[in-house]
Every structure is written in C-alpha cells, then in structure tokens.
Chain A
Amino acid sequence: MIKVSNLTKRFGDNVILNNINLTVEQGEIVSILGASGSGKSTFLKCINGLENFEDGKISVDGLSVSKKDELRQIRTFCSTVFQRFNLYPHLTVLENITLAPIEVLKEPINSARDHALLLLERVGLTEFSGRFPATLSGGQQQRVGICRALAMRPRYLLLDEVTSSLDPEMTGEVLDVLADLASGETAMLLVTHEIGFARKISSRIAFIHQGILVVDLPTKQFFSAAGGLSDGRVAAFLSKMELR
C-alpha cells in the first residue's frame, strides 16, 4: 500500500502540495487529474524520493520514503515511467531494460535478458532489442520505457503523463499496452490528461487543484453529477479538457 499522509511540499515560499492524503492499495489503479502546474508531477516524485518534502509522511508497503535505506528498498518495487521517456541514449533497448535488474536486483544477465525479451514481445518490439533509443519513434521509446519499469517486476507503477509528448496515433499504442497491464497485479498511480482513458481503467480518481487534493472518489462517482461534478473546480476542469 502506498500511504501518503499530510504531505506538504514547498519550493521556497510557494506551497506546491498542501496537506495531501492519499492511499493506493495493492493492485489498485488510481488516476490523478488536475490542471497544469497543480503539483501532480511533484507529487509522484515525492513518492519515490526524487523530491523531498517538508511535512507529512509517505510510506510504501510500510517502508518510509524519508529513510535512506528504506527508500532504496522501495525503489526496487516501485517503478516510474516518465513523460519524456528518459531512456539512456548510449545503451541499446535491451541494455536500457536490463540495467536496473542486473545492477540493483542482481538478477543474472541471462534471466534479465530473457525477461526483457518477453516484455518487448508483449509490447510488440521484439525486433528492436538491439537498437538505440534515438532510432525509435516516440511511441516505441515510451513502450521501451514501460518495459524498463516492468523489468523490475514492480508492485507499484508510477506513470506521469506518459502519453503527453506523443502524437495521437502513438498515444493509442501506449495506452493499449497500459490497459493490457491494468488487468495484472501491479498497482498503478497515474497522472494523465487522457480523461477517457482514466475513466476506463481507474478504480479511483483524485483531483488536485493548486496543490490541494480536493476530490478523491471511485471512478463512477467522480463522473456523476452528485459526486465529483458537484465540485465547481472539477466540472470546470473537465469541460475545459473536453473542449480541447
């Protein structure tokens, strides 16, 4: 379980995240919506210790993000897929995927490679294993990014707008991979602007407005007039997104 309690994060005098509480159970899929600059990325970064915070507590399966050796453990089973892929440009697709399993989990090279090839097959990229990231399309790179995260056999997957730097076509191919994953045991916490997709795969949706988590409801209720839509900020955000 990811458990965030009373999280407050500041950059200088600006309060970026204000007293946030959220839990994600094992196997659950939770989407976070919110306008640009509302603090969604910062929130995800706090969860795996890429950003530190002033107040509150974050724990993943009982381990505290704020303790160095516990954080190291958390990172072995809580993986991130990044908006701009962040692949290692000097390594091949296969090496990108196997680096952390070999170096961090100490997985034998052969088994790491077999697992990587299995994952690549699942996302339809088998024949690209020897290529360098720069020779792939954005959609292909992001699918590699997903394989890299899955290679750790994570219990939790953090996804930060993983399709927002992709063309609509490629967005489809990446979302398909995620939807496929969603039926598995990996819990997902995803930040997205793809409302339709969030609605389809999430069990819960949380809405952040200017650093405050204003709504956190089961998906169905979130989109109902009496539930999420009764909050003016959510209604305004959704109608704005639909207009795009």
Chain B
Amino acid sequence: MSIGIASGLLLAPFRYFKVKLVGSLIYGAAEFFRNSPVLVQLFLVYFGVPMFFQLELSPFFAAILTLSMNTAAFSLIIFVSAMEAIDREQILAAESFGLRRRQILQKIIGPQAMIIAIPMLVGIAINQLQVTSLISVIGFIDITKVGEILNQRTLKPFIVWPLIGLTYFALAQLISYLGAWLGKRLSHHLQYRSVVETA
C-alpha cells in the first residue's frame, strides 16, 4: 500500500519533465489537484472515470492514480520553484558556450534544483503517506484499514492503534532518512570539501 506513494513520488519527477512541455494545460490540472480535497479527487477518479470512459477501475488502481497525480501536482510546483531559485547568470554562461536547453537542464539546473527540492519533497511524501489513510473509503486496504480490521478482530485498540501510529512514523522516518542521504550525496560542493579528480 505504501508502494502506492512511493511509485507516486517516483513518477512525479518524470511526469514533471514530460509535463512541463505541455505547459499551461498541465498547470491547470496541477492547480485542480492542489486545491481540491484528496477525498473529492478520489471519488471523482473512482466513480467518474468508469462513467466517462466505460472502464472498470479497481480500488487499488484508482488509489494509485489519484495519489500519483496529486503528488505529481505538488512536486511540479516544488520543481518549478527550485529551478527558479537557481542563479540565472550561470545558465546564461552555459548558453553562451552553446549548450542546448536539454543539456543545461541535465547538467546545470537539474542537479542543483534537486538539492533544493529534496527537503520539500520529503515533506510532501510524508504528507501523502498520511493521505493514504483516506483511500480506505473506496474499499482499498491501506495501513489504517489494516488497523481497523485488526482492531475488530483483536478488540485491543490500545495495542493496535499505537502500532499503526508507529508504522506511519517508521515509514516517515525512512522517507526523511532517504531524503537526507540523497541530499548529502548531491551537495558535495556545499560542504566546502575538496574532492580529488572527478571528470
């Protein structure tokens, strides 16, 4: 179930890059996903898509789809602002040497924007983790739903709920840890440490 968010998060950057070219249309969609409640989006996807496109959606797929798009929308904004935070003059320099836009994105903007974006992405990921508890309403089993079931079976709420809480906590910690690790790997140059022969 948390695979859902993980893949949502992983999809987001890819989506973002493809997405940016399509421009304002995507921005419109992103605004919708950012500004409406996830629950509403979930219902719209789960009940709306089958109605308009005549295809049956499993709760699992509907949940993944909604959360992925939702995450992508937030990530999009993060990436755009991270990219805008990068000093324009070095991009001008790269342009002056004849680098193509794709090369500049890949070699200059991307690596630096990532460093800025990671802490914010971690925030989003942890938030989305909690949002997953909503998907039980369309009948899909997530961590919270597991908690309910366990609770009904065992009738020991004081053991079950702290455990469920701990599970969320552990997952959130894992995400933070991964974020910090990645951020550190990418930001050697910010640590004022000399590295020997790279190229």
Contact = CB atoms under 8 A, between A and B. Distances in A.
Interface of A: 48, 50, 72, 75-76, 79-80, 82, 84, 86-92, 94-95, 98-100, 103-104, 109, 112-113, 129-135, 148, 152
A117 to B, nearest CB: 10
Do most interface residues of chain B lie in helix, strand or loop, or is the interface mixed? helix
A86 B87 CA distance: 9
Interface in B90-130: 90, 92-99, 103, 107-108, 111-112, 115
A131 B87 CA distance: 20
Contact of B89 (A79, A86, A90): A86
Query: Which of A50, A90, A112 gathers the greatest number of chain B CB atoms within 10 Å?
Result: A90
Interface stretch (B23-31, B146-154, B191-199): B191-199
A103 B194 contact: no
Contacts of A75: 95-98
B194 A135 contact: yes
A113 B89 contact: no
A97 to B, nearest CB: 9
Interface of B: 87, 89-90, 92-99, 103, 107-108, 111-112, 115, 187-190, 192, 194-199
Given A84-B89, A87-B93, A92-B198, 17 more contacts: A50-B95, A75-B95, A75-B96, A79-B96, A87-B90, A88-B108, A90-B115, A90-B189, A94-B199, A98-B199, A99-B97, A99-B107, A100-B98, A104-B103, A132-B194, A132-B195, A148-B97
Contact of A76 (B93, B95, B98, B112): B98
Contact of B99 (A50, A100, A134, A148): A100
12 contacts: A75-B98, A82-B92, A86-B93, A88-B94, A94-B199, A100-B97, A100-B98, A103-B99, A103-B107, A104-B103, A130-B194, A132-B189
